[in-house]
Amino acid sequence: MPDLARFSVSLAKNLLDKFDQHIQAEQYPTRSKAVEDLIRLCLIKKEWAQGDEVAGAVLIVYDHHKPNLAAKLTRIQHDYHHTIISTQHIHLDHDNCLEIIVVKGKPEEVETLAQRLKTMKGVKHGSLTMTTTGKGV
């Protein structure tokens, strides 16, 4: 178990009330856990801004009947083989596929990959979620 440090924070009552509503809605067990997550988020955003290595997932939903789209998406992914850790292909229904592409690398490279994939004609939706590799937090 990591060493714990206690500190005191003074906030406006209405801000604390809103924070307590938020942590209750998010089902945090304690204020401490919620504050810990906020601090980590702040540090992770700094990692992204500094260009430190990040991990994440690119999700795309596309029409697999679109001519040559699957081949084009695969070709783009091969261009980023050093960034892509894993992919998972899911058949959502007769027409639509979901790909989950797990990535690790520099934020700008990960963002470029996500942008290239989601802007392909035939891709219905794409999103990128980045997080920390855990080294800096």
CATH number for 94? 3.30.70.1150
Q: What is the pLDDT of residue 40?
A: 85
Q: Per the domain annotation, does 2 fall within a domain?
A: no
81 is in an annotated binding site: no
CA-to-CA distance for 56 and 28, rounded, in angstroms?
A: 23
Q: What is the pLDDT of residue 1?
A: 61
42 is in an annotated binding site: no
The verdict on 65 and 38 lying in the same domain is no
The verdict on 60 and 45 lying in the same domain is no
Could you report the average pLDDT of every consecutive run of 10 residues in the chain (137 residues)? Answer: 84 92 93 90 81 92 95 97 97 97 95 96 95 79
CA-to-CA distance for 20 and 32, rounded, in angstroms?
A: 11
The verdict on 116 and 75 lying in the same domain is yes
The verdict on 42 and 62 lying in the same domain is no
- Number of structural domains the chain divides into: 2
Q: What is the pLDDT of residue 28?
A: 92
The verdict on 94 and 122 lying in the same domain is yes
78 is in an annotated binding site: yes
Question: How many other C-beta atoms are found inside a 10 Å radius of the C-beta of residue 6?
Answer: 5
The verdict on 45 and 99 lying in the same domain is no
Question: CA nearest 59: which of 2, 101, 1?
Answer: 101
- What residue numbers bound the domain in which 17 lies? 13-50
The radius of gyration computed from the CA coordinates of the chain, to the nearest angstrom, equals 20
Please report, for residues 41, 115, 116, the alpha-carbon distance to residue 96 in angstroms, rounded to integers and kept in the order given.
33, 20, 19
